[in-house]
Amino acid sequence: MKLLYSAASPYARAVRVAWRYLNLAGVNEQLCDPFADDAELLEANPLGKIPCLITDDGAALYDSEVILRYLDAQPHQNGSLFFKANDWEAATQFSLLKGIMDAAFGLRMEVQRFEQHCGSSKWLMRHEQAVLRSLMEVERSGMTATSFDVRHIMLKCVVDYLDFRCPELNWRKVAPSIDLCQKALSQQPCFEQTAPV
Ligand SMILES: N[C@@H](CCC(=O)N[C@@H](CS)C(=O)NCC(=O)O)C(=O)O
- Beta strands in the chain, from DSSP E residues, in sequence order: 2-5, 28-31, 52-54, 60-61
- Rounded Cα distance, 178 and 171, in Å: 9
Q: Tell me the whole-structure pTM to 2 decimals.
A: 0.97
pLDDT by residue (tens digit) across 7-65? 999 999 999 999 999 999 999 999 999 999 999 999 999 999 999 999 999 999 999 99
Ligand 1 atom 6: the closest Cα is on which residue? 49
Task: List Cα–Cα distances, 51 to 10, 47, 101, 115, 182, in angstroms.
Answer: 9, 11, 13, 26, 23
Residue 135 maps to a domain: yes
Considering the domain architecture, whether residues 67 and 99 belong to the same structural domain is answered as no
Phi, psi of 90 (to 5 degrees): -65, -40
> Ligand 1 site: residues with CB under 6 angstroms?
9, 11, 34, 48-51, 62-64, 105
Q: CB–CB of 156/182 below 8 Å?
A: yes
- Rounded Cα distance, 23 and 21, in Å: 5
Domain stops at, among 14, 48, 73? 73
Find the 16 Cα to ligand 1 centroid distance in Å: 15
Quick count: other Cβ atoms within 10 Å of Cβ 142? 7
Please state the domain count of the chain: 2
Domain that holds residue 24: 2-73
Ligand 1 atom 13: the closest Cα is on which residue? 49
